[in-house]
Amino acid sequence: MNKYLRYSLSVIFAFVASITFAAEPYKVLTFPDEGTAGKEISAYTKTWVATIGTDSWTIENFNTNKWNNWKYIRCGRKGNASVAAITSPAIDKPISNVLITIDKLTKDKVNSITLKVATDAEFKNVTEEISAPELTDGDMIFKPTKASANNYYKIVFDCASGSSNGLVQVSKVEYYKVGDAPTIVDITNTPETAYTVAKAKELIEAGKGLSEKVYVKGIVSKASETLNETYGSLSYYISDDGKEENELMVYGGLSFEGAKFESIDDIKVGDEVVVYGKLKLFNTTYEVDANNILISKKSNPTGISNITTSEADNAPAYNLAGQKVNAAYKGIVIKNGKKMSKK
């Protein structure tokens, strides 16, 4: 998405100059909110109230998972069509931009996303209704043109029956008053300009534009210990030099074009990879989030790269899958860069 930075130029001899510029939002809804109602929600069929400061939003048919590691809300049900909504309080300034950060969206299961503007909390007098121009994840912007002070803003998510719960994931809603506009940070890139691990971590720390998928390159420093049998995914670590420090976790990664991995041996220590997915900070772990896909892989002939060596007896040992093993392991291992048999 392009960065939005609009200016309204003053006209010569005009009595009033009008300028629109990037600014901070007038109201912001983030999750978990400051209230207590969301802590009780673990279903997709409840109505509850989210609170930020003195403002309260009515949330319909969104799950919080009782805020168990969630910093977002999700709507859309497995096996049932549903309509979810986020309704603002009366906002005392006219609003010209409503920005929703959608982290995840199952496009073929979402019928529409719409912003309704009304003069009353019951939405009997709707003054404007705007449909999303495109159903996709990322930063979605609605631009009301008939807003006035003390209006209510309702974002409606019409979802078809899903094969799983949580068809839409929302992490933030921002409201900008007339005269202000959001700045959309675009961190998208190409496979040729894939970010290094160091740059990816820098972007995560900055916390802007993380709703977009990006390309990241690195050398596998730790291979996956298990294959997720259900999803065919592997979780492994990459770094810029292949060492087990300053790493980025590739969480729940899939193979080329989203296909399942067949074995933990599909990704080995020393492989040079480019992956495509969303950047994320999970607790203290820097990640490429789940459902990322492998774009390219250049295998290391031995499957082992940049193993730290010290004294021969104290050097770590690795099996042929690139996994560190202990002294009780039996079979072929690599130690100090040499293969040996342990019986």
- The predicted model gives 76-96 an average pLDDT of 97
In the chain, the largest separation of any two C-alpha atoms, in whole Å, equals 91
Would you say the pTM of this structure is higher than 0.85? Answer: no
Q: What percent of the chain has pLDDT over 90?
A: 70
What would the two tokens of residue 186 be?
């675009």
What would the two tokens of residue 78 be?
């497995």
Under CATH, to which class is 191-298 assigned? mainly beta
- The predicted model gives 17-35 an average pLDDT of 78
Mention every residue, 6+ apart, whose C-beta is less than 8 A from residue 342: 317, 329, 330, 331, 332, 333
What would the two tokens of residue 318 be?
């690795």
d(CA 100, CA 239): 33
- State the fold for domain 21-181: Jelly Rolls (2.60.120)
CA angle, residues 21, 27, 29, in degrees to nearest 5: 125
Q: Which residue has the higher pLDDT, 46 or 21?
A: 46
For the stretch 47-60, pLDDT in tens is: 999 999 999 999 99
Confidence of residue 339 (pLDDT cuts 50, 70, 90): low
Least confident of 11-15, 141-145, 216-220, 304-308: 11-15
Residue reference for tokens 């193979």 = 255
The pLDDT of residue 132 is above 60 = yes
| Span(s) in the chain for CATH 2.60.120 | 21-181
pLDDT of 167: 97
- List residues bridging with 176 in a β-sheet: 97
What would the two tokens of residue 170 be?
């929302």
For the stretch 141-154, pLDDT in tens is: 999 998 899 999 99
For the stretch 291-333, pLDDT in tens is: 899 999 998 755 454 444 444 455 676 665 556 677 777 677 6
Alpha helices, H only, 87-220:
197-206
pLDDT of 7: 31
Confidence of residue 12 (pLDDT cuts 50, 70, 90): very low
d(CA 29, CA 57): 8
Q: Residue 99, class by beta-carbon neighbours within 10 Å (0-12 exposed, 13-18 middle, 19+ buried)?
A: buried
The pLDDT of residue 92 is above 80 = yes
Residue reference for tokens 């309204």 = 8
| Span(s) in the chain for CATH 2.40.50.140 | 191-298
